[in-house]
Structure 1
Amino acid sequence: MRNLQLKVEDSLSDDTKLWRYIDLAKFISLLDSRTLWLARSDTFRDQGEGQFPQEMRVAIEKAYESFTVAEDSPIKGANDFKEYLCKNAYVSCWHKNVDENMVMWELYGRDSNSVAIQTTVGKLKSSISKLDSGGLEFHLKNVQYSRDQDVEGKLNYSAPFFIKRPHFSFEQEARILLSTYSASSPNKDTPPGITVGLDVVEAIEKVLVHPDSHDWFTKVVKSISRKYGLKAPVESGVYGNRF
């Protein structure tokens, strides 16, 4: 077993602000469990998650043509291999911005009974627990927005999970990836997500309440925050549709 500590890409400075837009139930779950949920990549709506760039796909397909694959192997080709990697990649997505973002409210806080939590790269790194895991890597990196055909060269197997199609570039995403890939004992029968311990009191710098929510909801969020010992201020968002 490996003791994995979150490694942060050099381009992400400690003071970079990160946001997650979540509904009230997920907010309460985060505070109550003091864990961060990493979702298996194939549970996301975007079916392009983990897609091999073209040059990488061709190389993998050629490699499998020359392999003698065991009869009981769960991986018999490039498509099987992609599925295997997706079922062993666990992700937590964060939005990089100095301030709240109206588009992110619209997409990920559709219900006005939602919140945005704000942390920084440094606080997230210092507040997240190490993992006693058989995992391969545990990284926080920027997402690259590129078309498959524009990505060249040989990449490691986790790289496709940090590449998204250009029309997602508005998300300004940095993401945590836990890879449980194993060449010696491949397994597709994996859980839909993994939790990792998080000191939420230390990590959360600010809580914003949906800008279109009513006063009673703001009071509820403040009450919940006090109950769980949050020191972060709870404020109403600005960039909503109400005037």
Structure 2
Amino acid sequence: MYVCNEEIKLPHKDTIVWKYLDLSKFLDLLLCRQLFMSRSDKFEDQYEGTFSEPTYEELKKISENNPKFLDNYKSHRKNVVISSWHINEYESYAMWQIFTKNQEGLAIQSTIGRLQEALKPETNYEQHIGEVEYIDYKKEYIPFDNNFFPFLFKRKSFQYEREVRIISDLSSHKLTINEGLKTAVDINQLIEKIYIHPKSQNWYKNLVIQLMAQLGFDFSVEKSDLESDILI
């Protein structure tokens, strides 16, 4: 269930967000009606869920008489799952390049409000939505009075991601999480529009429309305009 956490920075509900993915992952989303959330320590960025240097120095002082204090933070990463979305009013050429491996990728367009509404209330663990802040990990401080803060800060090198996240802390649920888990969502609320890869062929767009129809969905499907004809 979605829970509003006032300590977490959240964009306006009308903010447009995107998720870029391959066809296989998109079909898995539609078939299962579940959104995959990755275990936080499985992301490519090794700093995921860790602290900046100033914060780490403070934590070391606190843990001098309690060695398990820092160990708890390290193990905590294994129990936090994340679904990442990209904030942008328009398509992102960089996101197409990074998150779709071939010309058969697509992008889901949604909004913050839709994400909130899509998260199922009957889910038995809390789900939070927050915008990532990008800081200098050598100089800037990350507060640690909220268990979600380490997962809402990243290094400035990742600013291009403009990321907003759905986050769940499953520490109290005693689950075995391998790569991640799937959480139930209202697909019709989650998806506002589908964009097809800019380098894809027309047959691919028709295939996506046909597959969605067979699964009972009728989303608006558009070809990315990044490859539109020039006007000169």
Q: Normalising by structure 2, what TM-score? A: 0.88
- Counterpart of 2:128 in structure 1 is 139
Q: Aligned runs of 1:92-241 on 2, under 5 Å?
A: 92-130=83-121, 131-133=123-125, 137-152=126-141, 154-155=143-144, 156-182=146-172, 190-240=177-227
Q: Is the 8 A contact 2:52 2:142 kept in 1?
A: no
Q: Is the 8 A contact 1:51 1:160 kept in 2?
A: yes
Residue 164 (structure 1) shift: 0.8
1:42/1:49 contact within 8 Å kept: yes
Q: Deviations over 1:150-201 (max 9, x none)?
A: 332642232111111111111111111111235xx9x795332122111112
Q: Is the 8 A contact 1:201 1:229 kept in 2?
A: no
Gaps of 5+ in 1: 70-75
Post-superposition Cα deviations, 1:76-110, rounded to whole Å, max 9, x if no partner, equal 462x3343121011000000111211111011113
Aligned AA for 1:177? I
* Distance (whole Å) between structure 1 residues aligned to residue 140 and residue 4 of structure 2: 24
What is the CA distance between 1:119 and its match in structure 2?
0.9
**Which letter does structure 2 place at the counterpart of 1:214?**
Q
Quote the offset at 1:6 in angstroms: 3.7
Letter matched to residue 18 of structure 1: V
**Distance verdict in 2 for CA 1:44–1:10, change over 3 Å:** closer
Q: What is the number of equivalent residue pairs in this alignment?
A: 226
Q: Does residue 63 in structure 1 map to residue 62 in structure 2?
A: yes
What is the aligned-residue RMSD (CA, Å)? 2.3
The amino acid that maps onto 1:38 is M
Q: Give yes or no for contact 2:191–2:219 (8 Å, CA) kept in 1.
A: yes
Mapped partners of 2:183, 2:61: distance in 1: 37
Classify 1:173/1:28 alpha carbon distance in 2 versus 1 (closer, same or farther; 3 Å).
Answer: same
What stretches of structure 1 move > 6 A for 4+ residues in a row?
none
Structure 2 unmatched runs, 5+: none
Deviates more, 1:42-51 or 1:56-65: 56-65
Tell me what 1:39 maps to: 38
The equivalent of 1:72 in structure 2 is none
Q: Give secondary structure in 1 for the equivalent of 2:120.
A: coil
Letter in 2 for 1:172: R
Q: Cα distance 1:150–1:229, how it changes in 2: closer, same or farther (>3 A)?
A: farther
In 2: Cα distance, 1:203 partner to 1:176 partner:
12
Give the C-alpha shift of residue 143 in structure 1: 0.5
Identity %: 30
CA distance in 1, matches of 2:141, 2:9: 22
